[in-house]
Structure 1
Amino acid sequence: MFPAPAIRKVYEGVASRHEMYALFNRHAQAPFDDDRIAGTRCIGEWFEISEADHDHMFEILPPLFYRGDMFAMREFLAASVTSVFFALRIDDRTRWFHSYCDLGDRPSLDRMRSEIIARESRPVRAMSRQEKLDHIWSITGPDYRGYADARFPADLRNRQIVLVYRAAQGKIWKLLDNLTAEEIASKLPVQFRQLTETAAA
């Protein structure tokens, strides 16, 4: 089984509408196993969007519920997991976010809000190693990312993999979690390569 991940930022910066829809589908290649059916891979993921896209999503369908600074989409991604959108006041300005929450765990909505505010209120811009890996996965095209299959040992199956280039071996598939600092830097947009690395919030 895929381990249930914690609340985490999966894209650095404000996603454009095209990027937002791509982020909705960042696990589209995942195997149809119990984790995908339950939405486990998506629970806890969040990223920033524009006000226009926040409002656009609000107008697509009547929300499942609307509560102050958040609303939930009526269509579920899987089981009790759906998109929850936030309009949050951070450092005296309003910003907009998309997240995946399990509505079967009602306190998860308030935890998500608190985690986003805490993460985005940091005085120094930084990215944890996990955030860098998630950003790489988010911006990598489907031809260059996938999930470990029969070419990998059984205990590594269904974990995220990406193509990397090694001078001696050419292009090879490698577990996303096992990328070296140099490989991470080479795959990140140049403006993020020098950000301070911190422990995940």
Structure 2
Amino acid sequence: MITQSSFRKVFEGVATRREMFHMFDRHGQASISKARLTGRLYDGEWFEISAAEHDYMFEILPPLWLRGDMFAMREFMTGSITSVFFALPIDGRTRYFHGYCDMLARGSAERMRDVIVERESRPVRAMTRTERLDHIWSTTHADYRGYAGERWPECDRGSRTVTVYGGSQGTVLKLLDDLTEVEISAKLPVHLRYLPAAIAA
């Protein structure tokens, strides 16, 4: 079962508008549960977007609030979770990000901003195993990913699943967290396969 308790990067690179909207609904297949209804599946997730996407979202509706380098969407995803957009100076240039924050958690947007700046200011581009898995989940078509249901052992139900090529077995459904390094590499685009492993923050 997925529980969201910390900020995490869920896509490597700058998301296009299509990819951005795709990730807005990246947990849309999850069963109706407390975690989904309250937005906990999304809380803390963030990714990079372009200036055009940042400005597009700013112009959709008047923001809930605007604080210098960030603004929050007036429309909530669910519960107290809403989108926050950032324009952050990192290494001498402005970069743009989207994240889901809990508006009932005081200072959550500021903490996310600090996490993004720290993560993106590292001198060596790298990815943790969790970031690799989240990138795979974010970029896999909905027809080839899902959540473990009643056919799975009770301890696995609600966990994310993804279809992988199983050699002579053809395609098989596996828990995302159980992918081997070879399977992870096969599912990542070539330019991400050989990035060094980052130490989780």
Distance in 2 (CA, whole Å) between partners of 1:100 and 1:107 is: 13
- Within 5 A, what are the aligned runs for 1:16-27? 16-27=16-27
SS of corresponding position for 1:11: strand
Deviations 1:70-98 (A, max 9, x none): 00000000100000000000001100000
Cα displacement (A) at 1:3 = 2.1
Q: When the two structures are superposed, what TM-score results if normalisation uses the length of structure 2?
A: 0.98
Q: Which residue in the other structure is 2:167 paired with?
A: 167
Amino acid at match of 1:188: L
Q: Which residue in the other structure is 1:109 paired with?
A: 109
Deviations 1:8-58 (A, max 9, x none): 110000001111100111111111110000101100100000111101100
Q: Which residue in the other structure is 1:15 paired with?
A: 15
How many aligned positions are there?
201
- Within 5 A, what are the aligned runs for 1:90-169? 90-169=90-169
Amino acid at match of 1:15: A
Distance in 2 (CA, whole Å) between partners of 1:143 and 1:153 is: 22
Amino acid at match of 2:16: S
- Within 5 A, what are the aligned runs for 1:50-65? 50-65=50-65
Percent pairwise identity: 59
Amino acid at match of 1:41: L
SS of corresponding position for 1:127: coil
SS of corresponding position for 1:138: helix
Amino acid at match of 2:176: L
Q: Is the 8 A contact 1:129 1:199 kept in 2?
A: no
Q: Is the 8 A contact 1:31 1:158 kept in 2?
A: yes
Amino acid at match of 1:11: F
Q: Is the 8 A contact 1:5 1:41 kept in 2?
A: no
RMSD: 0.9
Unmatched 5+ residue regions in structure 2? Answer: none
Distance in 2 (CA, whole Å) between partners of 1:53 and 1:102 is: 22
Cα displacement (A) at 1:161 = 0.2
Q: Which residue in the other structure is 1:83 paired with?
A: 83
1:37 maps onto 2:44 in alignment: no
Cα displacement (A) at 1:131 = 0.3
Runs of 4 or more consecutive aligned structure 1 residues displaced over 4 Å after TM superposition: none
Cα displacement (A) at 1:171 = 1.3
Distance in 1 (CA, whole Å) between partners of 2:160 and 2:125 is: 27
Point out the more displaced range, 98-107 or 164-173: 164-173
SS of corresponding position for 1:77: strand
Amino acid at match of 1:75: E
Q: Which residue in the other structure is 1:47 paired with?
A: 47
